[in-house]
Copies of this chain bind each other. A is one copy, B any other.
Amino acid sequence: MTAVPVHAADQKTATEAAAVPRIAPNAVQFRLENGLDVVVIPDRRAPVVTHMIWYRVGAADEVTGQSGIAHFLEHLMFKGTTAHPDGAFSERISEIGGEENAFTSADYTAYFQRVAKEHLGEMMAFEADRMTNLVLSDAVVIPERDVVLEERRQRIENDPGSLLSEALSATLYKNHPYGRPVIGWQHEISALDRRTALDFYNRYYTPNNALLVVAGDVGPDEVRALAEKTYGRITARPEAVRAPRPAEPPMVGPHTLTVRDEKVREPTLQRAFITPSSTTADSGGAEALSVLADIIGGGSTSRFYDGLVRGKGLATYAGAYYQSSGVDATRFVIYGVPKPGISLTDLEAEMERVIADLVENGVNEEELERAKSSVVAQAIYSQDSQQSLARIVGSALTNGSSLDKVQSWPERIQAVTAEQVSQAAAEFLKPEKSVTGYLKPIVKKAEQDGKS
């Protein structure tokens, strides 16, 4: 975006010479004797700490037929222990003016609190207690299952877009458990029970399968001392390691699926391609895919915006994203909403054409540099929130990545070449290896052309 044209090779040398910022540069990692990994990210801006415990287990580790158990257990972790009965932990957090939450993905389950720094040890004591002493009775399990079923009803069953995304994942992943919704299939959630939850808990919730991330106004020595007094007392179960997941067979051709619903206001399409994740990719692969997503559909300077929204006026919006984090192969997604009067088919053909053009003619240095700056900027900005930084680190490490890879992300993005970007597009964005989902309004009888 400099006004003076710079020769590409020169610019690259200049970039490499410049001090590329690192993410969480002062983060420190160590491991307790019982196998608990710890990352401390000092952040002295306020006397606050974010305390997160991450388990290397998620929906993709569930036994077939028990979908939703990882997420259900996340709910049940709030149900208390002998020392701290149902609600005691949350009440205490509220009492000291803190915040808490939890989240489950296909690859991890995490719990966190944000509190004033002097309460860190207490949070660790609570969290260590429920890592190993969870008490579950049918009296709490059964009503909580109804809560989860209601959550699914509201978030998925009542939302055609979510139903489409869920079916799209299940079509994209025919064998790998990423095809399964994290919240679980409704009929399988209904059958989850106390025993299943406790088995899952007993197998996976142990220090050697966990990661402690503490970000905030605290140093590594202090965190280590507190962690040893709490988590450090728990005995490890060395066998608590998740099994490798079944791999995908090759995709034999393009797939489509269509959801029509009266709640849909405007037609949309999304197309997904399976790609390596930052854990499974060859060196530079995830970085090239990240830059590619930005070039194709990352904002108002992207090719989709330029060609489809502004240019030909086919789309209200069109974009792309690459899901880099995952233990196993993840996805690259393009999506678009046609302008009124434009068909999904026409928009889709034009999106395909934009990608084919990129594959054939490559990317130019100007858009490459702009995309790299944008991807780096997003990473840099994400550090602004203590919680988001802790999440980036926790998610990466439970996905099989390393602290160094998180830290060096900006410099690895800077190293991406134009050739890597067009190669990634050629290798992974093949129409014949895609699943395309269409969300359509229900057309009234008179307007229909006879096909449903």
Contacts and interface: CB of A to CB of B under 8 A. Distances in A.
A163 B253 CA distance: 9
Interface string A418-452: 00000000000001100000000000000000111
A253 B257 contact: yes
Interface range for A: 35 or more
Nearest to A348: B451
B252 A254 contact: no
A255 B253 contact: no
A185 B175 contact: yes
A251 B164 CA distance: 10
A259 B255 CA distance: 9
B253 A164 contact: yes
A5 interface: no
Contacts of A11: none
Copies of this polypeptide in the complex: 2
A170 B185 CA distance: 17
Nearest to A66: B246
Contact of A174 (B164, B171, B246, B258): B171
A245 interface: yes
A166 B252 contact: yes
Nearest to A186: B249
Contact of A257 (B67, B185, B255): B255
A243 B64 CA distance: 11
A32 interface: no
Nearest to A254: B258
A187 interface: yes
Contact of A65 (B65, B246, B451): B246
A260 interface: yes
Given A167-B252, A253-B257, A256-B255, A187 B64 contact: no
A16 interface: no
Nearest to A244: B65
A442 to B, nearest CB: 11
Nearest to A245: B65
B249 A185 contact: yes
A243 to B, nearest CB: 8
A66 to B, nearest CB: 8
Interface string A51-64: 00000000000001
A11 B373 CA distance: 81
Contacts of A177: 64
A6 interface: no
A190 to B, nearest CB: 10
Contacts of A186: 249
A349 interface: yes
A185 B251 CA distance: 12
A97 to B, nearest CB: 42
A360 interface: no
A68 to B, nearest CB: 11
A151 interface: no
A130 interface: no
A147 interface: no
A181 to B, nearest CB: 8
Contacts of A253: 164, 167, 257-260
Contacts of A432: 258, 260, 452
Interface of A: 64-65, 67, 160, 163-164, 166-167, 170-171, 174-175, 177, 179-180, 185-188, 243-247, 249, 251-260, 349, 352-353, 431-432, 450-452
Given A167-B252, A186-B249, A255-B256, 17 more contacts: A64-B64, A65-B246, A164-B252, A164-B253, A170-B174, A171-B174, A174-B179, A175-B180, A187-B247, A187-B249, A188-B246, A252-B257, A253-B260, A255-B258, A256-B256, A256-B257, A349-B450
21 contacts: A64-B64, A65-B243, A65-B244, A65-B245, A65-B246, A67-B175, A160-B252, A164-B253, A167-B252, A167-B253, A167-B255, A171-B255, A187-B247, A188-B247, A253-B257, A253-B259, A253-B260, A255-B256, A256-B256, A260-B432, A432-B452
Top 4 A-B residue pairs of the complex, sorted by shortest distance between their CB atoms: A65-B246, A170-B174, A253-B259, A255-B257
